[in-house]
Amino acid sequence: MSTAEDTAGGEAQAWGEVTPDAARRLLIAAVEAFAERGYHATTTRDIAGRAGMSPAALYIHYKTKEELLHRISRIGHEKALEILRTAARQEGTARERLAGAVSSFVRWHAGGRTTARVVQYELDSLGPDAREEILALRRQCDAEVRAIIEDGVAAGEFDVLDVKGTTLAVLSLCIDVARWFNVDGPWTPDEVGALYADLVLRMVGDGGAAARR
Amino acid sequence: MSTAEDTAGGEAQAWGEVTPDAARRLLIAAVEAFAERGYHATTTRDIAGRAGMSPAALYIHYKTKEELLHRISRIGHEKALEILRTAARQEGTARERLAGAVSSFVRWHAGGRTTARVVQYELDSLGPDAREEILALRRQCDAEVRAIIEDGVAAGEFDVLDVKGTTLAVLSLCIDVARWFNVDGPWTPDEVGALYADLVLRMVGDGGAAARR
DNA sequence: TGCCGCACTAAGCGCTCGCTCACCTTCGGC
DNA sequence: GCCGAAGGTGAGCGAGCGCTTAGTGCGGCA
């Protein structure tokens, strides 16, 4: 647990699919800058500077500054969806799958906070077409979590008043980790993941959650 | 319930303390613009235009664009703190006070989403001094919620593993409402408030939460 | 060796930004 | 009826923005 995933350098390895090298360096620089200052407050000169290049070099690899955000958003959302999907398709009870999904999703938001911040909070800076594409991925994330909760209700494991609302609340809780989590704070990503898995099981009325610990 | 509080016009009445009239109109225009596009993507010309004034008029009432954000942030946080404080000092069990605090705090974030968005998500755009001042108010919000939870644990009403972490999660859940809540969506602020109060009682291990409904 | 193509840079274009300044109205007090 | 303060405007400054373009250095191939 908590391998390279939770260091800034480790975050970089998630971008391995981006080539060539210069394009990847620019992308990583953009992620850091967007996370620190926000999309609109970040200049193309800042991004290029962090990547050790001149401002013009950015435009050899990306058409516009927005394309950078779009690429980051899509790769990030695909990663998030993959995490939830993997957890949802695991063997086991709904209780186990929900706990696994929440703890790994939270670990990603806490450990890869830089990336997650951009992915979750800079969506509105995209143009309408790009935003719609990303929103489709987001709806798929929602569907994965909802499916687990519905399974649990059907199996009599969970006791939920409003499946749609509870799904939203669970995702909301996980996503907001990216806003407040601080690497220098009192918790490791693993600890927050475990705490949140417990809280979420309580939210879905899994009677054993409190008793088991 | 859900009176003027949940319309854009109704939100405006919260700024009654700001005088003179022109300064208040500018402030309300700024809240709307910041909420829609974010602080950095909003221009002073846009703010002045929404208030029906020339760009220069802004600088008669405010020294800089950042001062506008600072004022909005402070007034908004004071309002949020007042809501939590009122709920915390109510008569009743910890269970009742926590439910009341969450439902009214959530109602504020959902109904006054425009304001809440600026207050909760544009903090990083403030300078260091202003940010520190706002963070102090935020810590007081945290303390109010934590006190209720500690009361409940002491009284044997709640069963909580980690008071600090649970407090953070409760506040995080409420605050994130400002990000996703949509006035045209399927829920009213009251409905979300009630749902969230139930979810939070479950999170703190209030055994009766599920059974009672 | 000579040359091409590509990754990259220095310089800078056109534009819009936050903010200022000289000037104009309105109006209560004497 | 005149005056100064308060609150407003139109024009525009300097700076910095996203992005472009002409030119440079260099690895790979005949």
Mean pLDDT, chain B, integer: 90
| Sequence-ordered list of residues with C-beta below 8 angstroms from that of B13, at least 6 positions apart, any chain | B4
Chain B hits for A173, CB-CB cut-off 8 Å, are 169, 172-173, 176
Q: Cβ(B72)–Cβ(B27) under 8 Å?
A: yes
* Helix count and strand count (H, E) for chain A: 12, 0
- The residue count of chain B comes to 213
How distant is C1' of D4 from CA of B67, in Å? 29
Res B21: pLDDT: 86
Q: What is the rounded distance in angstroms from the CA atom of residue A28 to the CA atom of residue A34?
A: 10
Q: Cβ(B5)–Cβ(B114) under 8 Å?
A: no
Count of alpha carbons within 13 Å of B52, Cβ hemisphere only?
4
Q: Chain B contact for A168, CB < 8 A?
A: yes
pLDDT at A2 over 50: no
Q: Cβ(B201)–Cβ(B209) under 8 Å?
A: yes
- Mean pLDDT computed over A140-164: 96
- Strand, helix or coil for residue B84: helix
CB contact under 8 A, B161 and A198: yes
**CA distances in angstroms from A47 to A35, A54, A56, A57, B150, listed in the order given:** 12, 9, 11, 10, 46
Q: What is the rounded distance in angstroms from the CA atom of residue B125 to the CA atom of residue B130?
A: 10
Shortest Cα–Cα distance, A209 to chain B (Å): 9
pLDDT at B69 over 60: yes
Residue B37 CB-density burial (10 A; 0-12 exposed, 13-18 middle, 19+ buried): middle
Closest residue by Cα to the C1' atom of nucleotide C17? B43
The one-letter amino acid code at A43 reads T
Q: Cβ(A101)–Cβ(A204) under 8 Å?
A: no
- Mean pLDDT computed over B50-65: 94
Domain B65-212 indexed as CATH 1.20.1440.130: no
pLDDT at B3 over 50: no
DSSP class of residue A48 equals: H
| Domain map (residue ranges) of chain B | 65-212
* Helix count and strand count (H, E) for chain B: 12, 0
- Mean pLDDT computed over B19-40: 92
Q: What is the rounded distance in angstroms from the CA atom of residue A111 to the CA atom of residue A7?
A: 7
The CATH number given to A66-212 is: 1.10.357.10
DSSP class of residue A53 equals: S
How distant is C1' of C19 from CA of A180, in Å? 34
Res A15: pLDDT: 84
CB contact under 8 A, A199 and B196: no
Question: What are the pLDDT digits (tens) for B75-100?
Answer: 999 999 999 999 999 999 999 999 99
Region of A184 on the Ramachandran plot (φ > 0 left; ψ -120 to 50 alpha; else beta): alpha
Tell me how far apart the 2 most distant CA atoms of chain B are, in Å: 60
Chain center to CA of A130:
18
Question: What are the pLDDT digits (tens) for A3-34?
Answer: 334 344 446 557 878 778 889 999 999 999 99
Q: Write the DSSP string, B88-157.
A: HTSSS-HHHHHHHHHHHHHHHHHHTHHHHHHHHHSGGGS-HHHHHHHHHHHHHHHHHHHHHHHHHHHTTS
Count of alpha carbons within 13 Å of A12, Cβ hemisphere only?
14
Shortest Cα–Cα distance, A56 to chain B (Å): 23
